[in-house]
Amino acid sequence: MSLITALQAGQQRASAASTWRRLLAVAPAVLILILVVFAAFFPGLFAEEANLRPNPGAVALPPSAEHWLGTDLSGRDIYTRIVFGTGLTLSVGIRVVLVAGLIGLVVGLLAGLGPRWLDAAITRVTEVLLAFPELLIALAVVAILGRGPESVVIGVTTALLPAYLRQGRVYSVLARSTGFVEAAKVLGVPRRRIAVRHIMPSVARPLLVLMILGFGSAVTTAAGLTFLGLGMESGVDEWGVMMQEGRNRLGDAWWITSMAGFALLITVVAVSWLGRWVARTVQRGER
């Protein structure tokens, strides 16, 4: 083997090793998320639906062999509720970031590619939305639309939207002024093609990162709304609702609130871990 080949082989092994290390760094988060997603789609695999039935004889029991995470104020098994509540809890967060990301993308492109006045108008609207505290925007929306997952999604999306609008616009403007796009314009490439092939990818990537990182914010804000009474309807199996139900018994039956709280925490941490890993990988790729 020549020296060069040996060096190359050594380099390949080194980069393979570092790739391996990087993947390992994010593996726990991915594992947790896989579990969570499975629980969302196939709760029956993890728990029995029958345990969701209220049981007056089993109110507020501590964790035990029979009830792994204890029971709540209506005697329902908390572990089962958390499992069956995964889908609803996550769907709210996912829908929020998807809609916000999409709007951010579209509006960003419009702002970057469209006429100046459109850009200015969009910036003003963003600033107006930024002036309000997020939670209060979401509260007002749910106050109008009534409680329930749909309203919560719309409310939280509206509240978190400014950040996406701003990101979309910023990166769109940045991309627009790169050499590629200038050249394409000069060469007469149609606007739409410029948008799709050159600008959209550079807007979409940071937005994607924002979406992953924003998931936690979305879910936590939704839980905050529920706590204040303007979120999900009471009684449904959803983590925010469960946290709100147990809030008067933290002193003695702390598991009612805290188990759902931990579920939320773990999921959000895993997602944000993943998000930061994606962000760093994307950054590294760009360098």
Residue pair 169/123 in contact by the 8 Å Cβ criterion: yes
Which C-beta is closer to other proteins: that of 71 or that of 204? 71
Residue pair 36/90 in contact by the 8 Å Cβ criterion: yes
Q: Which stretch binds other proteins (CB under 8 A): 43-51, 90-98, 203-211, 261-269?
A: 261-269
Shortest separation between residue 185's beta carbon and other proteins, angstroms:
21
Q: Which stretch binds other proteins (CB under 8 A): 39-47, 78-86, 126-134, 191-199?
A: 126-134
- Binding to other proteins (CB under 8 A) within 207-236 occurs at 216, 220, 223-224, 227-230, 233-235
- The single-letter code of the amino acid at 262 is F
The whole-angstrom separation of Cα 60 and Cα 79 is 13
Residue pair 145/87 in contact by the 8 Å Cβ criterion: no
Residues binding other proteins: number (CB under 8 A): 63
- Binding to other proteins (CB under 8 A) within 142-161 occurs at 143-144, 146-147
Shortest separation between residue 44's beta carbon and other proteins, angstroms:
16
57-62 LR contacts (CB < 8 Å, sep 24+): 60/249, 60/252, 60/253, 60/256, 62/253, 62/255
119 sits near other proteins (criterion: CB under 8 A)? no
Alpha helices by DSSP H, 57-199:
78-113, 116-131, 134-145, 149-176, 179-186, 191-193
168 sits near other proteins (criterion: CB under 8 A)? no
Q: Which stretch binds other proteins (CB under 8 A): 9-17, 84-92, 165-173, 199-207?
A: 165-173
Which C-beta is closer to other proteins: that of 16 or that of 66? 66
- Binding to other proteins (CB under 8 A) within 43-102 occurs at 53-57, 59, 73-76
The whole-angstrom separation of Cα 282 and Cα 88 is 30
Q: What are phi and psi of 77, to 5 degrees?
A: -70, 125
Residue pair 169/124 in contact by the 8 Å Cβ criterion: no
Which C-beta is closer to other proteins: that of 127 or that of 182? 127
The whole-angstrom separation of Cα 63 and Cα 238 is 19
278 sits near other proteins (criterion: CB under 8 A)? no
Measure CA 169 to chain center: 20
Q: Which residues bind other proteins (CB under 8 A)?
A: 53-57, 59, 73-76, 124-125, 127-128, 130-136, 139-141, 143-144, 146-147, 162-163, 166, 169-170, 216, 220, 223-224, 227-230, 233-235, 243, 245, 247-252, 254, 257-258, 261, 264-265, 268-269, 272-273, 276
